[in-house]
Amino acid sequence: MTSKQINPPPANTDAAAHVTGKSVYVDDIPVMEGALWVKVLDARVAHGVIKRLDIRAAEQMEGVVKIFTYCDIPGENQVGGIIPDEPLLADHEVHFQGQPIALIAAETEDQAAAALEKIILEIEPLPVITDPREAFRQGKLLSPSRTFSKGNTAEAFSRCAHIFEGKTETGGQEHLYLETQGAYAIATEHNSVRIYSSTQGPTAVQRTVARVLGVGMNQVEVDVTRLGGGFGGKEDQASTWGAFAALVAHVLKRPAKCIPHRMEDMRMTGKRNPYSSDFKIGLDADCRIIAYEATFYQNGGAAADLSPAILERTLFHAANSYAIPHVHVTAHSCKTNLPPNTAFRGFGGPQGKFVIEAAIDCAAKNLGVHAALIQRKNLLDDGYEFHYGQIAVGAEAKNSWNTLEQKQPFAAVMADVEAFNTTHAWQKKGAAWMPICFGISFTNTMMNHARALVHVYSDGSVGVSTGAVEMGQGVNMKMIQVAAACLGVSWDRIKLETTNTTRVANTSPSAASATADLNGKALTDACNQIRARLDALVKSLFGADEKAAVTLRDNRVYLNGQDTDLNWNQLIQQAFIQRVNLSAKGHYATPQIHFDKSTGKGHPFAYHVYGTALTVCTVDCLRGIYTIDLVDVVHDFGTSINRHIDLGQCEGGIVQGIGWMTMEEVVYNAEGRLLSNALSTYKIPDIYSVPAVLDIQFLDTEGSDLAIFKSKAVGEPPLMYGIGAFFALRNAVLAFNPASNIAYSAPMTPEKVLMGLHG
């Protein structure tokens, strides 16, 4: 096999088409003649009983073909993935503003919109809950509460020199994928349907549509070219939009397209789960953390969606990168009258990490030291037993911290900050360190498997299908690199096909940062099967014995290290003539992982990803505005197979994390109405909010054998560096006003900064 470390790495195959506008998204697919537009009528009351739904006038409107309610669903009116608690279309009650009630299928979008206005809907309101603690008090839970525990915190607290308690809040986050949700469906022969969907989970769409239509999964084909972003928002919730389009296409036997506008998407879809949490941390006289307890109140919204799984990942990551002998963490998934919240990059991990960072910060402030001193002292090492039973291997927590320390010594950074602060009355700087430790694998062991299908065509070109969905993260390029390395051909001979459920079945969603690992490993399996057949052919062509070494490299064939004069194309031609099977299906299931939910112990993750970030910011103490001056990171990539892509993932994740922590504020009013419902009221980071210096150093580590070519997963972990921005800002505020009562409440918006400076 050729070298896996490609330097310089190839550019993303999608890059040129993206910047020239040629990349195809769902709305770019030319629709067939007779295609209908589907519009959704959604609830404008967060909780209530539907008293009247009169569609007669609307159905008479020009261009309207049919209006669908739950009565028109041939199969089950159900889209709940983990728990069947979410109707596709509301039946008698509504549980959140934005809940779909009816679908209008019309010849044009304008006609559908006009008809929507004519539907008469009366809802008798019921009490609305938006606060997770209030939901908990009323016993409204989406799934059973969970506790992970190690040691004996109660006993340990009695021995602690210092104990601190507090409360934290983290807000939601709108995914704001550039491409909204959407699907385009076509009825096909044998009562079947084909759906072009903007989904991270083609199989999830397929399964949901089969259920809703009451047909077999073999009658539903889902095809995904690429997504204009997903970030978790299309892991589960794309299924609803797939089902809308499929329902109309299936019943009316006409193509149907359902794509919400931005404001509809923002209003109807769930976001990152906000959390309200309590912590209690105990330290010895030497600042070692002895015991940690936390209770998490997850705002799940009106249906379970993925919240029970997100809750679990919060518990897994509750202690971040710290070695703590006694841990007891409990989480409640609270049912509120908000759109069902869902996966978002980090999947509950960021919410868990924020709380322990707040606990450490709280301890540090009370003890009069910088949090970094406590953080550094408590980093975990190889051999550490996580509170869920897994033993740390290849732990880079200390290594990444120490490597950053060489570049940005703590004493020097703090001296600079303090020098600035003593000479500036109306501007203050703050610095914070943020270590991360993120487990790679779906926490649900069952989901950690993948398949790939490889065809080598008789002209030597190669078609690759996997279960991986390209959503801007560059997974297609990584798959091309994997196939090229295994087959010894150049990248340009390999084409990544769309992700399609008839070519690759039973896929897990592209999620959990594990897509390149799982699908890449399945792809190596497929390529190696073809290689074994080709190697045997080469030996027979040259009359070489069994033990001869065949190498395929740069489109050429080598035998025992000697060039054979045979190139790849000629070899494939020979193979075809000799009727060798040039196709293979690969499979991979992550070995070694297991987890016992009843005990909360096991080995759930293939490996962990580590790293450390330093964030420095400057606050304008008159206005409350601020800049993030510097984010300096040492990140554990393992042996990166593509530094461009991995760097891009890291940079994007950090900026998205800073957005979540500092400016993105999802606001619902007491009636459950989304107030931050457009880009004018919801601020995401732009190029001006990117740190002036964003420096990412590759901590080249051995990497895990369970990572593809030892190149560690990179999708989610970097987002959590953004948490450092919150604490850097908080430190700057306290430098101006040491008596500030500023809370551990994210996002740290300029408004909160201003209140903190002067409150």
Q: Does 232 bind ligand MOS (CB under 6 A)?
A: yes
* Sign of the alpha-carbon dihedral angle for 40, 45, 47, 53: negative
Which listed option, ligand LUZ, ligand MOS, none, makes contact with residue 443 (CB within 5 to 8 Å by class)?
ligand LUZ
716 given a catalytic annotation: yes
Which listed option, ligand LUZ, ligand MOS, none, makes contact with residue 179 (CB within 5 to 8 Å by class)?
none
Alpha helices for 228-379 (secondary structure H): 238-252, 262-268, 307-316, 349-367, 371-377
Closer to ligand LUZ by CB, 201 or 638: give it: 201
Q: Which of 111, 200, 273, 499 binds ligand MOS (CB under 6 A)?
A: 200
The 496-515 contact track toward ligand MOS, x by CB under 6 A, reads ---------------xx---
Q: Which of 347, 588, 682, 727 binds ligand MOS (CB under 6 A)?
A: 347
Out of 93, 546, 716, 751, the active site residue is 716
Q: Are 440 and 707 in contact (CB under 8 A)?
A: yes
Q: Does 470 bind ligand MOS (CB under 6 A)?
A: no
Q: How many CA atoms lie within 13 A of 671 on its CB side?
A: 9
Instruction: Find all residues with CB under 8 Å of 496, minimum gap 6, and list them.
Output: 13, 464, 465, 466, 470, 476, 479, 480
Instruction: Find all residues with CB under 8 Å of 718, minimum gap 6, and list them.
Output: 436, 611, 633, 635, 649, 650, 651, 652, 653, 654, 657
Stretch that binds ligand LUZ, among 157-165, 442-450, 557-565, 568-576 (CB under 6 A): 442-450
Q: Which of 275, 279, 296, 344 binds ligand MOS (CB under 6 A)?
A: 344
Q: Which of 309, 496, 609, 619 binds ligand LUZ (CB under 6 A)?
A: 309
Residue 411 Cβ vs ligand MOS, minimum distance, rounded to whole Å = 38
Q: Which of 39, 317, 345, 493 binds ligand MOS (CB under 6 A)?
A: 345
Q: Are 410 and 450 in contact (CB under 8 A)?
A: no
Residue 22 Cβ vs ligand LUZ, minimum distance, rounded to whole Å = 30
Q: Which of 68, 292, 433, 442 binds ligand LUZ (CB under 6 A)?
A: 442
* Sign of the alpha-carbon dihedral angle for 524, 529, 532, 533: negative
Q: Which of 47, 211, 267, 313 binds ligand LUZ (CB under 6 A)?
A: 313
3-state secondary structure of 94: strand
Instruction: Find all residues with CB under 8 Å of 49, minimum gap 6, and list them.
Output: 92, 93, 123, 124, 126
Q: How many CA atoms lie within 13 A of 661 on its CB side?
A: 30
Q: Distance (Å, rounded) from C-alpha 230 to C-alpha 517?
A: 18
Q: Does 443 bind ligand LUZ (CB under 6 A)?
A: yes
Q: Does 438 bind ligand MOS (CB under 6 A)?
A: no
According to DSSP, the residues that pair with 52 across neighbouring strands are 122
Give the count of beta carbons closer than 10 Å to the beta carbon of residue 660.
Answer: 33
Number of residues that bind ligand LUZ (CB under 6 A): 11
Which listed option, ligand LUZ, ligand MOS, none, makes contact with residue 344 (CB within 5 to 8 Å by class)?
ligand MOS
Closer to ligand LUZ by CB, 84 or 216: give it: 84
The amino acid at residue 413 is V
Q: Does 444 bind ligand LUZ (CB under 6 A)?
A: yes
The 567-586 contact track toward ligand LUZ, x by CB under 6 A, reads --------------------
Residue 343 Cβ vs ligand MOS, minimum distance, rounded to whole Å = 4
Instruction: Find all residues with CB under 8 Å of 340, minimum gap 6, and list them.
Output: 86, 96, 237, 270, 300, 301, 302, 303, 304, 305, 307
Q: Distance (Å, rounded) from C-alpha 134 to C-alpha 672?
A: 14
Stretch that binds ligand MOS, among 70-78, 145-153, 344-352, 368-376 (CB under 6 A): 344-352
Closer to ligand MOS by CB, 584 or 650: give it: 650
Q: Distance (Å, rounded) from C-alpha 361 to C-alpha 369?
A: 9
Nearest to 205 by CA among 242, 260, 248, 162: 242
DSSP string, 533-563: HHHHHHHHHTT--TTPPEEEETTEEEETTEE
Q: Distance (Å, rounded) from C-alpha 315 to C-alpha 132?
A: 17
Q: Does 231 bind ligand LUZ (CB under 6 A)?
A: no
Residue 445 Cβ vs ligand MOS, minimum distance, rounded to whole Å = 16
Q: Does 347 bind ligand LUZ (CB under 6 A)?
A: yes
According to DSSP, the residues that pair with 430 across neighbouring strands are 617
Q: Does 526 bind ligand MOS (CB under 6 A)?
A: no
The 235-254 contact track toward ligand LUZ, x by CB under 6 A, reads x-------------------
Q: Does 512 bind ligand LUZ (CB under 6 A)?
A: yes
Residue 518 Cβ vs ligand LUZ, minimum distance, rounded to whole Å = 12
Closer to ligand LUZ by CB, 374 or 706: give it: 706
* Sign of the alpha-carbon dihedral angle for 526, 531, 536, 541: positive
What are the residue numbers of the active site? 716
Contact residues: ligand MOS, CB under 6 A:
200, 232, 235, 343-345, 347, 511-512, 716
Contact residues: ligand LUZ, CB under 6 A:
235, 306, 309, 313, 343, 347, 442-444, 511-512
